A and B are shown apart, each in its own frame.
Chain A
Amino acid sequence: MGFMDDKRDGLDTDSELDPIDEILKRINENEVDLPGDPQAQSNQEETVETVVEEAIEDAEIVESETEDLEDIADESERCERCGKRRRDTSIAEDYEFCARCRGEMLVTPLKWQGFVAAVCAIIIAGIAVVVAAFTSVVALPVVEAKGFERDNRLSDALSSYYMAQDEAGKLNEQLNMENLFTIGTKTFVNQMLLTAKVQSPLSVGQMLGTAIKNEKSYKNLWLRKLKPYSEILTRFQNTQEAVQPIVADYQESDPKDVPYDELIAELEAMKTGADAAKYEAYFIEYYKTYVAVLADKGPQVELDHMLAVKKLAPKETWLFNLYIADCYNRLEKYDDMIAVCDEIVAENANSVQAYSLKARVHCTRGEFDKAIAVSEQMDKYNPNNPAGFALAAEIYRRKGDVEKAASICAEGLEKVPGGGTELYRQQAIVLLLKGDKKAAYEAANNAYNSAYYNQDTTLELINTVALCASLAEETEMYEESINFLKENDVELADNVVQIIAGTKTLQDGFIGGKGDVL
Chain B
Amino acid sequence: MSTIYVIGKIITLPGAYLKTFWEHFVCRLLGIPVETGDYLVYDERLGHVEHEFPKTLPRTFLFAWLPGLINRLLGIPMFFAGALGIVYLGVEPIIRESGEKTWIFFVYLVLLYLGISLLCNIFPLVEDALLLWDKLYGKNSSANIVWKVLLFIPTACMLIGS
Q: B81 touching A180 by the CB < 8 A rule?
A: no
Q: B37 touching A181 by the CB < 8 A rule?
A: no
Q: A118 touching B89 by the CB < 8 A rule?
A: no
Residues of chain B in range 60-117 having any CB-CB distance to chain A below 8 Å:
73-75, 77-78, 80-82, 84-85, 88-92, 94-104, 107-108, 111, 114-115
Chain A-chain B contacts (Cβ-Cβ < 8 Å), number? 142
In the complex, whether A339 has a CB less than 8 A from a CB of chain B is: no
Q: With A128-B111, A179-B101 in contact, do A110 and B21 touch (Cβ < 8 Å)?
A: yes
Chain A contact patch, size range:
35 or more
Nearest residue (CB) in B for A131 is: B81
Q: A129 touching B77 by the CB < 8 A rule?
A: yes
Q: A179 touching B102 by the CB < 8 A rule?
A: yes
Q: A117 touching B77 by the CB < 8 A rule?
A: no
Determine the chain B residues whose CB is within 8 A of the CB of A81 once the complex forms: 35
Determine the chain B residues whose CB is within 8 A of the CB of A213 once the complex forms: 99
User: Among the listed B84, B91, B99, B111, which residue makes an inter-chain contact with A136, where contact means beta carbons less than 8 Å apart?
Assistant: B84
User: Among the listed A110, A135, A142, A211, which residue makes an inter-chain contact with B96, where contact means beta carbons less than 8 Å apart?
Assistant: A211
- Choose among A132, A138, A178, A222 the residue with the greatest number of B CB atoms under 10 Å from its CB: A132
User: Among the listed A121, A129, A211, which residue makes an inter-chain contact with B98, where contact means beta carbons less than 8 Å apart?
Assistant: A211
Determine the chain A residues whose CB is within 8 A of the CB of B95 once the complex forms: 179, 182
Nearest residue (CB) in A for B75 is: A125
Nearest residue (CB) in B for A104 is: B33
Determine the chain A residues whose CB is within 8 A of the CB of B107 once the complex forms: 131
Q: B85 touching A184 by the CB < 8 A rule?
A: yes
In the complex, whether A73 has a CB less than 8 A from a CB of chain B is: no
Which secondary structure dominates where chain B touches chain A? helix
Q: A217 touching B34 by the CB < 8 A rule?
A: no
The interface-forming segment of B23-31, B128-136, B145-153 is B23-31
- Choose among B20, B35, B74, B97 the residue with the greatest number of A CB atoms under 10 Å from its CB: B97
Q: B77 touching A125 by the CB < 8 A rule?
A: yes
Determine the chain A residues whose CB is within 8 A of the CB of B78 once the complex forms: 124-125, 128
Residues of chain A in range 86-144 having any CB-CB distance to chain B below 8 Å:
97, 102, 105-111, 113-115, 117-118, 121-122, 124-125, 127-129, 131-132, 135-136, 138-139, 142
Q: A142 touching B89 by the CB < 8 A rule?
A: yes
Q: How far is the CA of A108 from the CA of B111 in the complex (A)?
A: 32
In the complex, whether A364 has a CB less than 8 A from a CB of chain B is: no
Q: A188 touching B103 by the CB < 8 A rule?
A: no
Q: With A211-B96, A211-B97, A211-B99 in contact, do A132 and B14 touch (Cβ < 8 Å)?
A: no
In the complex, whether A187 has a CB less than 8 A from a CB of chain B is: yes
Q: How far is the CA of A135 from the CA of B31 in the complex (A)?
A: 42
Q: B33 touching A106 by the CB < 8 A rule?
A: yes
Q: How far is the CA of A108 from the CA of B52 in the complex (A)?
A: 13
Q: What distance in Å separates the Cβ of A353 from its nearest Cβ neighbour in chain B? A: 29
Q: B96 touching A185 by the CB < 8 A rule?
A: yes
In the complex, whether B120 has a CB less than 8 A from a CB of chain A is: no
Q: B99 touching A188 by the CB < 8 A rule?
A: no
Q: How far is the CA of A133 from the CA of B107 in the complex (A)?
A: 14
Q: B34 touching A186 by the CB < 8 A rule?
A: no
Q: What distance in Å separates the Cβ of B129 from its nearest Cβ neighbour in chain A? A: 21
Q: What distance in Å separates the Cβ of B119 from its nearest Cβ neighbour in chain A? A: 12
Nearest residue (CB) in A for B37 is: A108
Q: How far is the CA of A183 from the CA of B77 in the complex (A)?
A: 20
Q: A128 touching B91 by the CB < 8 A rule?
A: no
Q: B84 touching A217 by the CB < 8 A rule?
A: no
User: Among the listed A109, A132, A186, which residue makes an inter-chain contact with B80, where contact means beta carbons less than 8 Å apart?
Assistant: A132
User: Among the listed A108, A125, A212, which residue makes an inter-chain contact with B34, where contact means beta carbons less than 8 Å apart?
Assistant: A108
In the complex, whether B118 has a CB less than 8 A from a CB of chain A is: yes
Q: With A125-B77, A128-B80, A139-B89 in contact, do A110 and B28 touch (Cβ < 8 Å)?
A: yes
Q: B111 touching A124 by the CB < 8 A rule?
A: yes
User: Among the listed A132, A187, A212, A217, which residue makes an inter-chain contact with B90, where contact means beta carbons less than 8 Å apart?
Assistant: A187
Nearest residue (CB) in A for B99 is: A213
Q: How far is the CA of A223 from the CA of B81 in the complex (A)?
A: 23
Contact flags B20-55 to A (C-beta < 8 A → 1, else 0): 111011011001011111010000000000001000
Q: A117 touching B21 by the CB < 8 A rule?
A: yes
In the complex, whether B159 has a CB less than 8 A from a CB of chain A is: no
In the complex, whether B122 has a CB less than 8 A from a CB of chain A is: no
Q: How far is the CA of A304 from the CA of B41 in the complex (A)?
A: 78
Q: A114 touching B17 by the CB < 8 A rule?
A: yes
In the complex, whether B18 has a CB less than 8 A from a CB of chain A is: yes
Determine the chain A residues whose CB is within 8 A of the CB of B108 once the complex forms: 131, 135
Q: How far is the CA of A181 from the CA of B31 in the complex (A)?
A: 47
Q: How far is the CA of A114 from the CA of B49 in the complex (A)?
A: 12
Q: How far is the CA of A18 from the CA of B130 in the complex (A)?
A: 49
Q: A179 touching B100 by the CB < 8 A rule?
A: yes
In the complex, whether A372 has a CB less than 8 A from a CB of chain B is: no
Determine the chain B residues whose CB is within 8 A of the CB of A188 once the complex forms: 90, 96-97
Q: B98 touching A179 by the CB < 8 A rule?
A: yes
Q: B74 touching A122 by the CB < 8 A rule?
A: yes
Q: With A125-B74, A125-B78, A187-B90 in contact, do A181 and B104 touch (Cβ < 8 Å)?
A: yes
Contacts A/B (CB < 8 Å), 6 sampled: A106-B34, A108-B28, A108-B37, A117-B21, A127-B111, A128-B111
- In addition to A110-B25, A114-B17, A138-B89, 12 A-B residue pairs with Cβ atoms within 8 Å of each other are A106-B33, A114-B25, A117-B14, A121-B18, A125-B77, A131-B85, A132-B81, A139-B89, A179-B95, A179-B98, A183-B89, A211-B98
| Cβ-closest 6 pairs across A and B | A186-B90, A184-B89, A114-B21, A105-B33, A132-B81, A184-B91
